[in-house]
Amino acid sequence: MNRKDALTEVFMSGLAAQPEAEPNFHQAVEGVARDVLTVEKNDADYAAARVLACLAEPDRVLSFRITWEDDTGQVQINRGWRVQTSNAIGPYKGGLRFHPSVDLDTLKFLGFEQCFKNALTGLPLGGAKGGADFDPRGRSEREIMRFCQAFMGALAPFVGPDQDVPAGDINVGAREIGWLFGAWRKHRQSFGGALTGKGLSFGGSEIRVEATGFGLIYFLSCMLHDRGETLEGKRVLISGKGNVATHAALKAMSLGAKVLTLSDTGGTLYAPDGLTPEAVNWVRIRKARGEDIAHPPASLGPRYKADALPWEIEADIALPCATQNEIGSAEAAQLVSSGVTIVAEGANMPLTHEAATTLQSKDVIIAPGKAANAGGVAVSGLEMSQNAMRQSWTPERVDAALRDIMTEIHRQVAHEGRVPGGIDYRRGANIAGFRRLAKAISAQGVV
C-alpha cells in the first residue's frame, strides 16, 4: 500500500459517519482525502489544525419537522434539514433540494463538496446544503407555496445575509425561492440578501438562472483551449432536462457544438444532427409546466427513446447534468465505446467511484463538478455582493464576471492538477479548494 492509500485508510477509519449509513458522504470524503491528505501532512499548520477532519464533521446539522396543510385540509408532515458544513471562508452557502430521495447522507455529501466548490470561486462563501424529503410532483402551486412557507418557518432563525444564504437545487427554482424569501422576510422582519436565485424585482441577479450551465461550458472551453481545440463541431451528449442541462445545451450550441441529447428519468431525447435552440426551449417549457418530453412535435426534429440513456451514442464530449451517481461502470464503458474523451460534470458527483476509475483508465479526462459547475454558486456570490451594495448589475457585467471566475478556476485547477502528459482535474480541484480552506481554518485557531 502506498503512502497516499495508507493515509486515506487511517483517515476514513476515524470518520464518525459509517460507510453503510452514509455511503454518499463517505464516497465524497474519500475522493477528496486521497488527493489532499499528503498536502495536509506536508504543512505543519494544516496538519496541526486537522483541516480535513474539521471539514468532514459539519459545524452543525439542523433537522426539523415541516407541518403543512394540503388542498384537502389534511395535515402533511415532512422532514427537513440544513447541513452547515463550514463558514471558515464566508457565510454558509449552498442550495436547497426538495425530493423524496433527500436524506442526511445526501446533504452531508453535498455540503462537503460545496465547501471545496465555493473555495474555488475565490469568493467569500462557506459551505452548506439543505432540503426536505418533500415530493412536489402532483402537488398544486398552493400546496408547494404552503410547503415552502412551512419549511422557512422552521429554518428562518438560522438564515441571514451574514449567517447562511441558501439557494435553489433540484425542484427548488426561482418560484420556490420567491416563496421562501417571502417567508424569511416575514419571519425575520427584515429585507436582505438571505437567499440567492431571487427574482430580479427583489434583489436577484441577472444570469443566475443560466449561470451553472453557462459556467460549465466556459470551463469546458478552457479545457479545450488548453488542448488547442474549440467547441466548434464537437458532438456533445447531455443528460438531464433541467436548469443546468438546458442552459449548458444553449451555450454549447451558441459556440458551435452539436448537442445530440437531453434526457430525463424516462428516456433520452435524441437529435442525430443536433438539437436546435427551439427544441431546447420546448423542453424548458414542458419541464416548467411539469409535463414530460416523450412526444416532441415532429417539426422540432428530435425523437424520444424511452428507457434509453444518452451514453451509447457516438460523441466527443459528455456532460452529465441530471443527478448524483447517474453514471456507473456500465455507463462509463458505454462512454468509452462511444468515443467520448472528455466528461465535464454539470451535476454534483454524477460518476460513481468505479465509473471514474474506468474512464480514467481509458484516458478520458474528467472535470469534476466542484470546479465545472461552480458557475451557479459564483453568480450567487455576485448576487450577494449586489445585495450588499444595493446595486443591480447588467447581464453583460455578470456574464463577463462569470466567465472570468470560470477561467480563473480552470487556471488554479490546471496548475494544481498538472501531471506528466496532461491535467488531472479531479486532483487539481481538490487540492486548489483545500489550500484555500486550509489557510483559513489553520489561521483561525482551534474553534
Options 129, 198, 287, 370, the catalytic residue: 129
Q: To the nearest whole angstrom, how small is the minimum distance from the Cβ of residue 381 to ligand NDP?
A: 12
C-alpha cell at 331: 455507463
CB 189, min distance to ligand NDP, A: 29
Q: Cβ of residue 406: shortest distance to ligand NDP, in angstroms?
A: 13
Q: Which is nearer to ligand NDP, 54 or 279 (CB)?
A: 279
Cell matching residue 190: 427584515
Nearest to 414 by CA among 213, 214, 218, 223: 223
Report, in Å, the least distance between residue 30 CB and ligand NDP.
Answer: 19
The residues near 227 (Cβ < 8 Å, ≥ 6 apart) are none
DSSP 8-state assignment for residue 114: H
Rank residues 245 and 351 by Cβ distance to ligand NDP and give the closer one.
Answer: 245
What is the Cα–Cα distance from 319 to 179, expressed in whole angstroms?
Answer: 31
Task: Give dist(CA 297, CA 276) in Å, integer.
Answer: 13
If the CB atoms of residues 49 and 211 are measured against ligand NDP, the closer one turns out to be: 211
Count of CB atoms within 10 A of residue 97's CB?
Answer: 23
Q: Which amino acid is at 358?
A: T
Query: Measured at the alpha carbon of residue 173, what is the angle toward residues 188 and 353, in degrees to the nearest 5?
Result: 110
Q: Is 232 helix (H, G, I), strand (E, B) or coil?
A: coil
The number of beta carbons lying within 10 Å of the beta carbon of residue 53 is 15
Q: Which is nearer to ligand NDP, 26 or 287 (CB)?
A: 287
DSSP reduced 3-state for 207:
coil
Which residues on adjacent β-strands are paired with residue 84? 60, 128
DSSP letters of 368-407? -HHHHTTHHHHHHHHHHHHHHHT----HHHHHHHHHHHHH
- Cβ distance to ligand NDP smaller for residue 140 or 361: 140
User: Least distance in Å: CB of 161 to ligand NDP?
Assistant: 20
Residue nearest to ligand NDP according to CB distances in the complex: 242
Nearer to ligand NDP, 38 or 325 (CB): 325
Instruction: Say whether 129 is catalytic.
Output: yes
Nearer to ligand NDP, 39 or 319 (CB): 319
Q: How far is the CB of 244 from ligand NDP (least distance, A)?
A: 4
Q: How many helices and strands, by DSSP H and E, does the chain display?
A: 16, 15
Q: Please state the φ and ψ torsions of residue 216, each to the nearest 5 degrees.
A: -60, -45
Helical spans, DSSP H, in 132-207: 141-155, 174-188
CB under 8 Å to 358, separation ≥6 — which residues?
329, 332, 333, 336
Q: Give the β-pairing of 258-259 and 235-239.
A: parallel
β-strand partners of 305? 268
* Alpha carbons 306 and 336: distance in angstroms, whole number: 22
User: Which one, 58 or 441, has the nearer CB to ligand NDP?
Assistant: 58
Q: What does the binding site for ligand NDP look like in residue numbers (CB under 6 A)?
A: 168-171, 212, 239-245, 263-266, 287, 321-324, 326, 346-348, 373, 376
Catalytic residue positions?
A: 129
